[in-house]
Chains A and B, each alone.
Chain A
Amino acid sequence: MRGFLTILRHEIFVLLISPATFVAGFLFLLMMWLVYWQVLKAMPSKELPVSLFFQLFWLPVLFMVPLLTMRSIAEERRMGTLESTLTTPTTPLAIVAGKFAGAYVVFLSFWVLALGYPILTSFQVPEGSANFSFMEASPLIGGLLFVAVSGTMYVAAGIFASSLTRSQLVAAMLCFAILFMVILGEQILFTYSGNPETVPGRWQPILDYLRTFRQLEDFSRGIVDSRPFVLYFSSAFVLLGIAVVVVERKATR
């Protein structure tokens, strides 16, 4: 993992000075603003606003992750700097891990910023106007934990997509397609074919295990389940592993 910290520092620096990061951040926060506003507008509701807020997490993820990760490896390959980097005492693993960690840190930072909405609201709304707390700890911690855990896989998917091509656009589209299938594919499938619970036979527990919205429902209510941790961490591990193999293979060609 030699060079990992150097690459991580470099990645974060590049992301922080890149206009694309700020555009992504602005679009992300704008979307979350719209979501939060709609949640407040739809009150009274049977669920806490913060739980509903997290239940729409997929909306910004679908475009923010491709924007953050599309250039990571694809751009290096297009510019021919990937081969140069590999001539230094740096391994493909360190490159992939460094790029992943950089994008992941920015991804998490955006979500931490999004927490500003419930925090600001709790200060702005006059006392006694709400029969609940905007800063209810359990759904806030649970929701953020889910975003952090699932984010490992989503960012890894972006890095993986970026490792497959030289074109940033293709990488972004590929990443979007993967995320769309992973997050919404099952939900859409069952919207047209009926209740997701009624898949007969052995598929029921498998699909049940993979259902993003079920996991999110638990986390955003304040129930932390160990299964999504394993699922998302192992998926991230596999995707990054394949990305390392791809980088190794491409660099030697």
Chain B
Amino acid sequence: MNFGHKDFRKVRRMESLNAILQVILLALVFLGVNYLAARFYSRVDLTRANKHSLSLESQAYLENIDPQKPVSIIVTLMTRPEDTEEDQRTRKEVEKLLREYVYHANRHGPQRLSVEYVDVFKHRERARELATKYGLQQGDSILFACEKRNRLIPAAHLRALQEGTGKLIGFRGEALFTSAILHVTRNEKDKVYFVNGHGELFLDTADSDRGITEVSAFLMKRNIEPETLNLLIAGKIPNDAKLVVIASPQSAFSEEEVILLRDYLNRSNGRVIVLLDPYIKHGLENLFWDWGVDVQDKLVVEPASSSTIAQNGATLVREFSNHQITRSIGANHIPVLVGPCRPAQPDIGAPADETRRVTSLMRSREGSWAETDYRKSGPAKPEARDVAGPISLAVVAERQVGQQGIQIAGGKLTVFGNSSWVTNAWFKSRGNRELLHNSVLWNLDRYTLVDIPPRPVQEYELTIDAQEFKELRGRLFLLPLSVLLLGAICFWTRRH
């Protein structure tokens, strides 16, 4: 048999084809194997106390998400040149934590949870979509959405700061994320009743000074249903009331109404927010006395404000306590714009009650005072009858109920010495929105749906002096040096 050039060429072509097919086959195997690996994977935490894993409670909730109603998480935390170390740390912690959430939610097959990172400055179209769909208007936050329910967590809420120093000591991401997932996957809406019948602010009027339609829309976007309630006509507080708001009554409450409110707070562990303005007789004194809250008939006078935004009787409040409602506002130095205020403070003369805890939320500046004769005309001056500042402008009172050492949250009463900050005219201010958001969520127990402690942010320290450090450096250098020496011996041995 004779072979010509053509035959050899044919064999070569076949060999080339064979090689190409082998490479293609290898590539296909690579893609197939990795596709499966990306879908079905597992993670093992080697640390002793599983410190990077989610708590069993969170894992259980994630496994119970209905695959037909998956949860979407949209993260708008961005990298910017001006980011502080804390910002970077927060973003990193969020990324790490969400990896665990995705793993635990999706490891049993169907996609129950997805995470999307959006740069609102670069992906304008997507940012617009999110603003329309979820009302997402701010960056630096994490949005949890499931069907029509959603929940926004600003980045500032994730940090646990040390009181006094403001130093980052922990990361409370897991408690907030799990609580948000629980909230968006729940079917029912929380109902908030706004009391009327005393000339309160109008829930459905767009008036800038007495309307609170902005608040109404704000709550509805957060799956909270606001409704009006006339206590005298209804004769009771509905069973589905998760929170009752009394916003700027212009006349006093009757005895019957006060009894209804007291029963709601004490027997039903109800939640009430009261916004009171100076000058007005409200008739709630006895209720406040029971709850250790003191709302005096005085007017808080601030030293003149230089801010243009705080003209016309408005004041920028910048002093906040470390309470869950005001912590993030204080930590981020966001001012709250308020109108004329009356003092709302813990009542030091109230009867002792171990189950009750009263905390001031925010206060006026140094140099301010509570004016007693504020009805007099003429410029106000601090006098002996007045109380020297700083003056508490808002207060929360909460009770713990339970027996045999088991304590659960009871009623909560929140009192603000001003109501203007929720009106349509002033509610656009970021601090005001944040204050209302936190107050409502805290009263609805949305922060404490799950009891997961913050993850501590540890700082690793080494304390040795310069001489010890120098010695250590020298001893560590022996390692590369010994390899070089070994090489030289090896080389010399081979040569000889």
Question: Contact residues of A with B, CB < 8 Å?
Answer: 16-17, 19, 21-23, 25-26, 29-30, 33, 36-37, 40-41, 43-49, 113, 116-117, 120-121, 124-126, 129-132, 137-138, 141-142, 194-195, 197-198, 200, 204-205, 209, 217-218, 221-227, 229-231, 234-235, 237-238, 241-242, 245, 248-249, 252
Contacts and interface: CB of A to CB of B under 8 A. Distances in A.
Interface majority SS (helix, strand, loop, mixed), chain A: helix
A238 B34 CA distance: 12
Contacts of A37: 473, 476
A115 B30 CA distance: 33
Contacts of A252: 15
Interface in B59-117: 75, 78-79, 89, 95-96, 99, 116-117
B38 A227 contact: yes
Contact of B46 (A21, A125, A224, A227): A224
B280 interface: no
A43 B461 contact: yes
A225 B41 contact: yes
B56 interface: no
B95 to A, nearest CB: 7
A198 B123 contact: yes
Nearest to B33: A234
A249 B21 CA distance: 13
Given A37-B476, A116-B479, A126-B468, A131 B41 contact: no
B19 A113 contact: no
Interface of B: 15, 19, 22-23, 26-27, 29-30, 33-34, 36-38, 41-48, 52, 75, 78-79, 89, 95-96, 99, 116-119, 122-123, 126, 457-464, 468-469, 471-473, 475-477, 479-480, 483-484, 486-488, 490-491, 494
Contact of B47 (A26, A29, A117, A138): A138
Contacts of B45: 138, 222-223
Given A26-B483, A120-B476, A130 B460 contact: yes
Contacts of A229: 37
A19 to B, nearest CB: 5
Given A113-B483, A198-B118, A241-B22, 13 more contacts: A26-B487, A46-B460, A47-B460, A125-B464, A138-B45, A209-B34, A209-B38, A227-B41, A231-B34, A234-B33, A234-B37, A237-B30, A242-B26
A149 to B, nearest CB: 13
A218 B47 CA distance: 12
A22 B490 contact: yes
Contact of B490 (A17, A44, A241, A248): A17
30 contacts: A22-B484, A33-B479, A36-B476, A41-B469, A43-B460, A43-B462, A46-B457, A46-B458, A47-B460, A49-B460, A113-B483, A121-B476, A124-B471, A137-B46, A195-B79, A197-B95, A198-B117, A198-B118, A217-B96, A221-B96, A222-B45, A222-B52, A223-B43, A223-B46, A225-B41, A225-B42, A227-B37, A231-B34, A235-B30, A237-B29
A222 B46 contact: yes
Contacts of A23: 487
Nearest to B117: A197
B82 to A, nearest CB: 15
A204 B95 CA distance: 14
Contacts of A22: 483-484, 486-488, 490-491
Contacts of B19: 245, 248-249
Contacts of A238: 26-27, 29-30
Contact of B472 (A124, A131, A195, A248): A124
B476 A117 contact: yes
Contacts, number: 179
A231 B37 CA distance: 8
Contacts of B38: 205, 209, 227
A26 B483 CA distance: 6
B427 to A, nearest CB: 31
Contacts of B26: 237-238, 241-242
Contacts of A48: 460
A197 B34 contact: no
A223 B42 CA distance: 10
A226 B39 CA distance: 11
B122 A26 contact: no
A41 B462 CA distance: 9
B52 A26 contact: no
A138 B472 CA distance: 24
A167 B87 CA distance: 49
Q: Sorted from nearest, which 5 A-B pairs have the closest CB atoms? A: A22-B487, A197-B117, A230-B37, A29-B480, A138-B46
Contacts of B95: 197
Nearest to A116: B479
A21 B469 CA distance: 30
A126 B459 contact: no
Contacts of B484: 22, 26
A29 B36 CA distance: 38
Given A217-B96, A222-B52, A234-B29, A129 B487 contact: no
Contact of A230 (B33, B117, B458, B475): B33
